[in-house]
Structure 1
Amino acid sequence: MQNSVLDAPIPAAACPVAPERGSLSHLMQAPAGAPPVEWIVSEGLTAYDDAISFMEQRADAIAAGTAPECVWLVEHPPLYTAGTSSKDGDLIDARFPVHHTGRGGQYTYHGPGQRVGYAMLDLRRRRPDIRAYVCSLEDWIIATLAAYNIRGERRADRVGVWVQRPDKPRGFDGAMAEDKIAAIGIRVRRWVTFHGISLNVEPDLSHFSGIVPCGISNAHYGVTSLVDLGIPVTMPEVDSVMRRTFETVFGPTA
Structure 2
Amino acid sequence: MKREFWANANYSPIPLTMTDPMIAHARPNWHPDPVDWVVERGPVDYDNAIAAMESHVDAMIRGKADERVWLLEHPPLYTAGTTAKPQDLRDPGRFPVHPTKRGGQYTYHGPGQRVAYVMLDLKKRRQDVRAYVNDLESWIIGTLDTFGVRGEIRPGRVGVWVDRSGPGRVREDKIAAIGVRIRRWVTFHGIALNVEPDLDHFTGITPCGIAEPGLGVTSLVDLGRPITMDDVDNALEDSFNAVFGPIRHHRQD
Q: Normalising by structure 1, what TM-score?
A: 0.88
C-alpha deviation, 1:168, in angstroms:
8.3
**Shift in alpha-carbon separation, 1:111–1:28, aligned structure 2, 3 A:** farther
User: Are 2:7 and 2:180, in contact at CA under 8 Å, matched by a contact in 1?
Assistant: yes
Q: For 1:222 and 1:214, how far apart are their aligned partners in 2?
A: 11
2:152–2:161 CA contact under 8 A, matched in 1: yes
Q: 1:116-195 maps to which residues of 2 (within 5 A)? A: 116-166=115-165, 170=169, 176-195=170-189
Residue type at the aligned position of 1:121: L
Contact 1:59–1:192 (CA under 8 A) maintained in structure 2: yes
The question of whether the paired residues in 2 share the 8 Å contact of 1:116 and 1:198 is answered with yes
- Does residue 58 (structure 1) correspond to residue 56 (structure 2)? The answer is yes
CA distance in 1, matches of 2:195, 2:28: 27
Instruction: After TM superposition, give the deviation of residue 153 of structure 1 in Å.
Output: 0.3
Report the identity percentage.
59
* Whole-angstrom distance in 2 between the partners of 1:250 and 1:214: 26
Partner of 2:197: 203
How far apart are the structure 2 equivalents of 1:86 and 1:46?
A: 23
> Which digits, 9 at most, give the CA deviation of each residue in 1:105-152, with x for residues without a partner?
000000000000100000011000000000000000000011111110
- Stretches of structure 2 lacking an aligned partner (at least 5 in a row): 14-25, 249-253
Matched, 1:7 2:4: yes
1:252 matched to 2:246: yes
Cα distance in 2 for partners of 1:225, 1:15 equals 26
When residues 168 and 31 of structure 1 are mapped into structure 2, their CA distance, relative to the original with a 3 A threshold, is farther
Deviation (angstroms), 1:30: 9.0
- Residue 42 of structure 1 aligns to a residue whose secondary structure is strand
C-alpha distance 223-168 of structure 1, shift in aligned 2 (>3 A) = farther
Amino acid at match of 2:6: P
Task: Give, in angstroms, the shift of residue 182 of structure 1.
Answer: 0.2
Once the two structures are TM-superposed, the CA of residue 7 in structure 1 deviates from its matched residue by: 1.9
Q: Is the 8 A contact 1:169 1:177 kept in 2?
A: no
Instruction: Give the superposition deviation at 1:8.
Output: 2.2
User: Normalized against structure 2, the TM-score is what?
Assistant: 0.89
Deviation at 1:167, TM superposition (A): 5.0
User: For 1:79 and 1:191, how far apart are their aligned partners in 2?
Assistant: 29
SS of the residue corresponding to residue 219 of structure 2 reads coil
What CA RMSD, in Å, does the superposition of the two structures yield over aligned residues? 1.9
Give the Cα separation in 2 of the matches to 1:8 and 1:160.
19
The letter of the residue matching 1:78 is: P
8 Å Cα contact 2:37-2:247 kept in structure 1: yes
Query: Which structure dedicates a bigger proportion of its chain to strand?
Result: 2
Counterpart residue type for residue 251 of structure 1: G
Unaligned 5+ segments in structure 1 are 17-26, 171-175
Match of 1:24 in 2: none
The aligned length equals 235
CA contact (8 A) 2:8 2:133 kept: no
Distance in 1, matches of 2:34 and 2:42, equals: 25
Match of 2:89 in 1: 91
Q: Which amino acid aligns with 1:100?
A: P
Matched-pair contact (CA < 8 Å) for 2:9–2:157: no
Aligned residues of 2:116 and 2:192 also touching (Cα < 8 A)? yes
1:86 and 1:215 in contact (8 A); partners too: yes
- Which residues of 2 match residues 12-31 of structure 1 at below 5 A? 12-14=9-11, 31=30
Deviation readout 1:149-168 (Å, 9 max, x if unpaired): 11100001211000011358
Which residue does the alignment assign to 1:47? Answer: 45
